[in-house]
Amino acid sequence: MSPKIQLLALRGRDAQVIAQILSRQSIPCDERRSVPDLAAALSDETSAVIVTEESLEDVGGSGLMKWLQRQPAWSDLPFILLATKRVGKRPKEAAAVLERLGNVVVLERPIHSETLLRAVDSALRGRRRQWEARRHLADLKSAEERLTQLNNSLEQSIAERTSELSRANDRLTQEIAQRERAQSALVQSQKMEAVGQLTGGIAHDFNNLLTVICGNLDMIQRSVPDQRTATQAAHALQAADRAAKLTQQLLVFSRTQKLSLESIDLNALIQGMSDLIERTIGADADVELRLDPHGPWARADKNQLELAILNLAINARDAMPGGGEIVIGTTVREGSVPNVAASHFAVVSVQDTGPGIPQHLLAKVFDPFFTTKPVGKGTGLGLSQVYGIAQQSGGSVRIENVPGSGAEVSIWLPLSAAEEAPIHRDRPARPVSDGSSRTILVVEDDAGVRQFIVESLRGAGFNVAEAANGPEAIDGLDSKRPDLLLVDFAMPGMNGTDLVRTAWEIHPRLPVVMATGYADMNAVEELLPAERVLRKPFRSDELVRAISDAIAEDCDQAPAG
């Protein structure tokens, strides 16, 4: 406890000098103007009193003595009396005052500042011991009261203790159950992660097959003179495109990369994934699309947003075990999102006709691993992923719930202008700046894909050299002197990124386009810009456009002369 010293010195500069001496030692004091003022300021928390002898001449009828008489048993407030040096004995009246003050240290003036400080320090130590005694007395009294209460209500205390132990046992049982559920959720999450890794692993081979199928069907459709055969090839190509799209949508489950924000037509996005939603939901629920005719655009990550919508649709289906209706809609709403200045947002909503979410669970639905589904039916990560995707996109997630009448979960995203959309895939290829023949070194371990790429590029007028792996491509860099390197990402021995780094050590300005069928491409995106990455499956025109753009860009950046 900080010192609380009261100072009474009514004559001359005594009060000012004493206060200065104490302040140099960081000991605060309160100056008083009279004995009644001093008496009114005293309390059990007062540390000590410094008073000059002449200031106590009128102490007899003041409240000071009454306060001292009312002190509790533990208290004996210390006084430091600064007395005038006397010749002979102190008068009886002055001696009586000192007797009534009780715990008094008399210092005859003039005194040295160190003497005063030592006296103050001694008084403060003594007062602290008194406070310590007060605390011990209070503890003893409290302990005595508790013991008395315990003796008077022993049976009640035993019952309360038994009840407390019972509650503790219940809490322990609940914690064990929660831990078991968390362990089950972790196992399920690990299973999903393994499935995602497996999906990403087989994606390369499957996309290679689709590349060969789509590419050759495209070339057949373009070159065959028979209209009937061309129509059949077009139908087969449409089916192959659907298979490629389905593969990309399934690969969303294995994505762990950072969000790639772009301008997205929400209506087109939902219409494009409607087949996947209907197949995933099954026949137990009807899916209805209520899309804003004005077609809101939002800034988000396309694949992650697809994952979020699919998660919400699955949750809506699971909320209606007896069947029902799922309504997926788009609109523009006015509102506010924390830390976002915008007031209008593009909204995607998923509504069900189930029983709704109980009110006491609304605050928990976005918590990771929280789920109301049976073990093995859900990980509790779906809504937390939706929430994270929305937040990283600069938006939010809201739930409008009427128990017994269904729930609507809406994803609020920043509005985006339609003209910010990526350029359409069918735009023509940029012509090569100087129009001369260029040599492309194609590095692809799959023979079917490599053959399709080589034929497509040769048909477009390029000189093409080929290699089946990284070491073979490195050996041919000097002899074949390519103008551009087209390399597959996943190859045995040396993958595409390792090959590109090695090639750049030999030819630092060699343009590169990388073809890949993987979903998570952090390693590629750290090495090459997105426009230099060609996603499998692709068609001939996409291949030629990517190669031409890369060569033209390299020509634009080449130093003059």
User: What integer is the mean pLDDT of 292-309?
Assistant: 87
- Positive or negative, the CA dihedral 410, 411, 416, 420 is negative
Give the pLDDT confidence score for residue 429 in this predicted structure: 45
User: What integer is the mean pLDDT of 254-258?
Assistant: 46
CA distances from 396 to 212, 256, 269, 332 (A): 42, 20, 19, 14
Percent of the chain with pLDDT over 90: 19
Q: What are phi and psi of 418, to 5 degrees?
A: -60, -30
Q: What is the pLDDT of residues 496-548, one digit of tens each?
A: 889 999 999 999 889 999 988 765 566 777 788 878 888 888 888 889 999 99
Q: With bands split at pLDDT 50, 70 and 90, how would you rate the model's confidence at 435?
A: very low
Give the pLDDT confidence score for residue 190 in this predicted structure: 62
Into which CATH architecture does domain 5-146 fall? 3-Layer(aba) Sandwich (3.40)
User: What integer is the mean pLDDT of 16-36?
Assistant: 89
User: What integer is the mean pLDDT of 31-47?
Assistant: 89
CATH class of 260-422: alpha beta
Partners of 401 in beta bridges: 407
Q: What is the pLDDT of residues 377-390, one digit of tens each?
A: 554 455 767 777 78
Give the pLDDT confidence score for residue 192 in this predicted structure: 46
CB atoms within 10 A of CB 120: 24
User: What integer is the mean pLDDT of 471-490?
Assistant: 89
- Rounded to an integer, what distance in angstroms lies between the CA atom of residue 336 and that of residue 345? 9
Are 82 and 14 contacting, i.e. CB atoms less than 8 angstroms apart? yes
Q: With bands split at pLDDT 50, 70 and 90, how would you rate the model's confidence at 257?
A: very low
Percent of the chain with pLDDT over 70: 80
Residue 397 has pLDDT above 80, yes or no: yes
Give the pLDDT confidence score for residue 247 in this predicted structure: 63
Of 286, 304, 406, 403, the residue nearest 348 (C-alpha): 304
Q: What is the pLDDT of residues 142-162, one digit of tens each?
A: 998 888 887 887 878 788 888
Q: Residue 453 corresponds to which amino acid?
A: I
Give the pLDDT confidence score for residue 416 in this predicted structure: 85
Give the pLDDT confidence score for residue 265 in this predicted structure: 92
Q: Residue 509 corresponds to which amino acid?
A: R
What is the 3 state secondary structure string of 351-368? ECCCCCCCHHHCCCCCCC
- Rounded to an integer, what distance in angstroms lies between the CA atom of residue 34 and that of residue 48? 16
Q: With bands split at pLDDT 50, 70 and 90, how would you rate the model's confidence at 56?
A: confident
Give the pLDDT confidence score for residue 255 in this predicted structure: 45
Of 409, 478, 489, 402, the residue nearest 445 (C-alpha): 489
* 3-class state of residue 220 by DSSP: helix
Q: Give the rounded distance of the alpha carbon of 393 from its chain centre.
A: 13
Q: Where are the alpha helices (DSSP H) in 423-529?
A: 447-459, 470-480, 496-506, 522-527
Partners of 407 in beta bridges: 401
Residue range(s) occupied by CATH 3.30.565.10 in the chain: 260-422
Give the pLDDT confidence score for residue 256 in this predicted structure: 41
Tokens of 449: 């894909």
Give the pLDDT confidence score for residue 234 in this predicted structure: 80
Q: What is the mean pLDDT of the chain?
A: 80
Q: With bands split at pLDDT 50, 70 and 90, how would you rate the model's confidence at 303?
A: confident
Are 64 and 34 contacting, i.e. CB atoms less than 8 angstroms apart? no
Give the pLDDT confidence score for residue 376 in this predicted structure: 47
The larger pLDDT score, comparing residue 182 to residue 263, is at 263
Give the pLDDT confidence score for residue 207 in this predicted structure: 74
Cβ neighbourhood burial of 211 (10 Å; 0-12, 13-18, 19+): buried
Tokens of 110: 């003039």
Residue range(s) occupied by CATH 3.40.50.2300 in the chain: 5-146, 439-557
Give the pLDDT confidence score for residue 301 in this predicted structure: 85
Q: With bands split at pLDDT 50, 70 and 90, how would you rate the model's confidence at 78?
A: very high
- Rounded to an integer, what distance in angstroms lies between the CA atom of residue 541 and that of residue 529? 20
Domain 439-557: which topology? Answer: Rossmann fold (3.40.50)
The larger pLDDT score, comparing residue 176 to residue 219, is at 176
